[in-house]
Homo-oligomer: A and B are copies of this chain.
Amino acid sequence: MLNEKPATIGVMTSGGDSPGMNPCIRAVVRTASANNVQVLGIMDGYEGLINAEFRPLGVRDVGGILQRGGTILQTQRSLRFHEKRYQREAIRNMNSAGMDGLIVIGGEGSLKGAHALAEQDVRVVAVPASIDNDIWGTNMAIGVDTAMNTIMEAVDKLRDTASSHSRAFLIETMGRGCGYLAVMAGIVCGAEMVLIPEVPVTVEEVAKAVDEAYMRGKKHCIIIVAEGASVKVSDLAKALDDMDVGFTTRVTILGHIQRGGSPTAFERMLASRLGIKAAEALLAGESDVMVGLHGRDIELVSLADVTAKSRQASMLYYEMARMLAR
């Protein structure tokens, strides 16, 4: 039975960091405080849970973090947390710190960890955070809007210089298994082509399309390539140079820049709403659930479902990117 109101809860950020984690932590702390509940911040994700690295978080401790990228609780990937004995260690630490419930802010792996804890009768509510937007059960995860704006601003700069003739720009974005970020970036940046894991192509097919764009009189060609696409940026660059398609090829690899930056307005709003809802749900006795954005509303979804399913880029948006690029 999970229906007493907890007097102390824990909050952690876990996995790859994403902008918006800080506003989410702030919302959790302030909601808890408004309900006279103490919050313990857990450092370094599941590692900190195993090592009992806790520190009290009061209303003032989360002042001035709304606009900061990264996470004040830091984050780390924990391999050993997959093992039962470390999970048991974590639960023991939570108990001895008097933690009655836990809020986990993180991506796919972190949600699996949260679900594992819930199955061992830990009261846990999860918040989706992943710039890849690859988490099932929410329209948007924390970090996506900021990452998208970061990519967009980078490509906007390329457009300036693209006014000179005949260049093909290849931009690698994040997205190992899910092309969401690349497809959306393709639309908002007006890219001529988007390559994503969900739609396998060969280097030859891409090169042919670039060649055709050149022959049709395009002055430049912007191609956004998700990290996990079937074609790698370096291979494509080489192929285009070898085939001499008319465009000179230039490569940009954004890398971890996409994880940084001050969270956007949308991000802070989403992160605040998810944080408030997560805290309220936990205090109301919910467990083994994730908060997610559904249309305009924040709703609860079962962690069992979230961790069993995966999300891919929408083919509708993929087609929209193509139509708008004409």
Contact = CB atoms under 8 A, between A and B. Distances in A.
Interface stretch (A97-105, A114-122, A203-211, A254-262): A254-262
17 contacts: A17-B163, A69-B161, A71-B163, A75-B164, A76-B164, A76-B165, A148-B265, A156-B260, A157-B261, A158-B260, A161-B259, A188-B268, A250-B255, A251-B253, A252-B256, A276-B323, A295-B295
A61 B72 CA distance: 17
Interface string A3-32: 000000000000001010000001100110
Contacts of A297: 295
Interface in A169-193: 169, 184-185, 187-190
Interface string A250-282: 111111110111101110110011001000000
A52 interface: no
Interface in A144-164: 145, 148-152, 154, 156-164
B164 A70 contact: yes
Q: Shortest 5 CB-CB distances between A and B: which pairs?
A: A295-B295, A157-B260, A69-B160, A252-B255, A160-B260
Contacts of A17: 160-161, 163-164
A207 to B, nearest CB: 19
